[in-house]
Amino acid sequence: MLYFEDIEPGMKSAFGHYEVTREEVIEFASKYDPQPFHLDDDAAAQTYFGKLSASGWHTGSMAMRMLVDNMDTNKQASLGSPGIDELRWLRPVYPGDVLRCETEIVDKTPSRSRPEMGSFRSNLTVFNQNDEAVMTMKSIGLIRRRSAETVEKA
């Protein structure tokens, strides 16, 4: 189990494998981002995207799935997140793309008001199968400290 005390700035992790399907792109867009270039080949061909592309929000959701799967495989004492500082969609994501993630811890801070936890900032990059960055995100994570005894000694 990974706790606050185990995290250090500069730590990197690479994980994930997500195959983007046409059906999922259309299903997500139909529910949450029904713009024509996410739903229709002809409409998409008339845009900058050139062909049917995933919503950026869908890309973020796929990245979140890979993050959670990674946390299940590499157990963390995660307490969620108070939010993100920056989100950028750098390239379109298309059906047939295969996505993966890389993260780097930027810094960490023990909580002053809740000694049982701390926070860390990290940078996440999502890549496609050509190693092209398609999305970046700067986020804040909350994580449990190892124990009350550890906190008192710090």
Tens-digit pLDDT profile for the chain (154 aa)?
A: 999 999 999 999 999 999 999 999 999 999 999 999 999 999 999 999 999 999 999 999 999 999 999 998 989 999 999 999 999 999 999 999 999 999 999 999 999 999 999 999 999 999 999 999 999 999 999 999 997 545 455 5
Where do the domains of the chain lie? 4-153
pLDDT at 136: 98
- Alpha-carbon gap, residue 136 to 123, rounded angstroms: 7
CATH architecture, domain 4-153: Roll (3.10)
- Alpha-carbon gap, residue 84 to 54, rounded angstroms: 21
CA–CA distances in Å: residue 139 to residues 44, 81, 89, 119, 121:
31, 8, 15, 10, 6
